[in-house]
Chains A and B, each alone.
Chain A
Amino acid sequence: AQSVTQLGSHVSVSEGALVLLRCNYSSSVPPYLFWYVQYPNQGLQLLLKYTTGATLVKGINGFEAEFKKSETSFHLTKPSAHMSDAAEYFCAVSGTTSGTYKYIFGTGTRLKVLA
């Protein structure tokens, strides 16, 4: 069975400050991990993904995440927050069964950026 835990349903940071959104996963098989962002009344946009290989993954808009197997974590970071980063962020896990696109999502973290 797979699951995802996102710590902190709401996170506030000042513009220019570090963004850190936490995600821990549980998976009985090697996981594929994703971060998606959702703006109001919109669908989900992929920020980055980890499948295999390099554990530090760089995504769009300056975001990156590091896969740490020993900690079962995949935290999302951005060195300097921008007002446009205000949105809801979802961490997701799926199994490595080829072609299975059943994502298990975390409950989401709403990021607020303060001027």
Chain B
Amino acid sequence: KAGVTQTPRYLIKTRGQQVTLSCSPISGHRSVSWYQQTPGQGLQFLFEYFSETQRNKGNFPGRFSGRQFSNSRSEMNVSTLELGDSALYLCASSPGTGNTEAFFGQGTRLTVV
């Protein structure tokens, strides 16, 4: 069974640009969550999508957005990039119901210059 796939693994963008990150969850999983990991702030919850609907949202500005497709694949978008957006972005996949854990992808390392 394939794990959680995040693409790309590494990305370099310039301030002011926008970026789209992709996450393919484990087959059969309907929930995808996104986290930002930085040395200063640690792991912070961005949002969760379940069956194409945002079910939960963290405390991030509106520049951070996401969506989920009918096949459960998810994308997150960051517009008007700032230097502080440089981080490891992790996607987590889970069935979406019941008491099961989330499975994480290897992450996308975004560097904003």
Chain A interface (Cβ < 8 Å from any Cβ of B)? 32, 34, 36, 41-46, 49, 51-52, 90, 96, 98-108
Which one of A49, A96, A101 contacts B33 once the chains associate, using CB atoms below 8 Å? Answer: A101
Can you identify 20 A-B contacts, CB atoms within 8 angstroms? Answer: A41-B107, A43-B104, A43-B106, A43-B107, A46-B101, A46-B103, A51-B99, A52-B99, A96-B99, A98-B98, A98-B99, A99-B55, A100-B56, A101-B94, A102-B45, A103-B45, A103-B92, A105-B35, A105-B42, A107-B42
Query: Contact between A104 and B45 (Cβ–Cβ < 8 Å)?
Result: yes
Query: Contact between A101 and B48 (Cβ–Cβ < 8 Å)?
Result: yes
- B92's nearest neighbour on chain A, judged by CB, is A101
* Interface residue ranges of B83-107 to A (CB < 8 Å): 90, 92, 94, 96-99, 101-107
Distance to closest chain B CB from A101 (angstroms): 5
- A106's nearest neighbour on chain B, judged by CB, is B42
Which one of B6, B48, B90 contacts A102 once the chains associate, using CB atoms below 8 Å? Answer: B48
B12 at the interface (CB under 8 A from A): no
B106: chain A residues within 8 A (beta carbon): 41-43
A42: chain B residues within 8 A (beta carbon): 106-107
Q: A41-B109, A51-B99, A99-B55 are in contact. List 16 more A-B contacts (CB 8 A).
A: A32-B99, A36-B104, A42-B106, A43-B4, A44-B92, A46-B103, A98-B98, A99-B97, A100-B48, A101-B56, A101-B96, A101-B102, A103-B35, A105-B35, A105-B43, A106-B42
B97: chain A residues within 8 A (beta carbon): 98-99
Distance to closest chain B CB from A52 (angstroms): 7
Distance to closest chain B CB from A17 (angstroms): 27
Complex CA distance for A31 and B22, rounded to whole angstroms: 30
Distance to closest chain A CB from B55 (angstroms): 7
A43: chain B residues within 8 A (beta carbon): 4, 6, 90, 104-107
Do A99 and B42 form a contact, CB below 8 Å, given A42-B106, A43-B104, A46-B103? no
Distance to closest chain B CB from A33 (angstroms): 11
